[in-house]
Amino acid sequence: MCFINRLSLEMELENLVHIAGLIGEPARIKMLWVLLDGRAYTATELSLFADVSPQSASAHLSKMVQANLLKVSCQGRHKYFSYGRDEVAYAVEAISNLVPLQKEKIVPLIKDIPFEYCRTCYDHIAGTAGVVIMDSLLISGYLVEKDQVYDLTDKGVVFFKAFGIDTDVLLRQKRPFARPCLDWSERRSHLAGSLATAILKKAIAEDWMRKVGNSRVLTITSKGQLALYEALGIKI
């Protein structure tokens, strides 16, 4: 029995070393970081982001597709790459938390709009705004933390129905409903999972938040400020 457990552990470690090697290569981690904006990109676009030749990018992308870190979709003559599963995005965001925070603020991608304040993390809201929303959902008792995930309360069912989100549909999906995602700029968790995606989609559809250019930055409109204050009692 001990031999079987040891063999299983060694195999698991080998798989971990393999994945760590794939992610840790500089060009690949650059590609994975760019994909956090939730969009799919061609091999040529990703080669520019990673500052490698198209041939080299294709080789890197092929390895990540084989490992199920990425998936590829064909549209006409073009191939578009995106995350193979949600966990890849969470892992990339988590790795960024290992980078020490600098005393000086990170230079924002868009002038006068702090990248750390409100941005997308793959398919959900991150930054200060994301953490504040997460805190409010917990304090209000709409979600409760349990075993590294968030469970929906009866109070939460009523709230989200009035908010315009059908939690029954989300709970039937295969992906996690609500889970913490450690925010690299805040060093605290914001909300991830199907519920977080639904909140971001509603915020965009209702013009509470707007995506800025080809970046991950989100701006919060005056309409959004009022709506979030009325719904969650938060000022962002």
Over the stretch 25-50, which tens digit does the pLDDT of each residue have?
999 999 999 998 888 899 999 999 99
pLDDT value at 107 more than 80: no
Q: How far is CA 115 from the centre of its chain?
A: 15
Closest to 225 in 3D by CA, of 129, 139, 141? 129
Q: pTM (2 decimals)?
A: 0.72
Q: What's the confidence (pLDDT) of residue 6?
A: 63
Q: What's the confidence (pLDDT) of residue 155?
A: 97
Per-residue model confidence as pLDDT tens digits over 115-157: 788 999 889 999 999 999 999 999 999 999 998 899 999 999 9
The per-residue pLDDT of the chain, averaged, comes to: 88
Domains of the chain, with CATH numbers?
2-84 (1.10.10.10), 119-232 (no CATH)
Closest to 30 in 3D by CA, of 18, 48, 15, 17? 48
Q: How far is CA 211 from each of CA 140, 192, 203, 204, 205, rounded to the nearest angstrom? A: 28, 18, 10, 8, 11
* Pair 50, 27: CB distance under 8 Å: yes
**C-alpha to C-alpha distance for 67 and 231, rounded to whole angstroms:** 42
Give bridge partners of residue 125 from the DSSP assignment. 120
**C-alpha to C-alpha distance for 35 and 49, rounded to whole angstroms:** 10
pLDDT value at 63 more than 50: yes
Q: What's the confidence (pLDDT) of residue 14?
A: 83
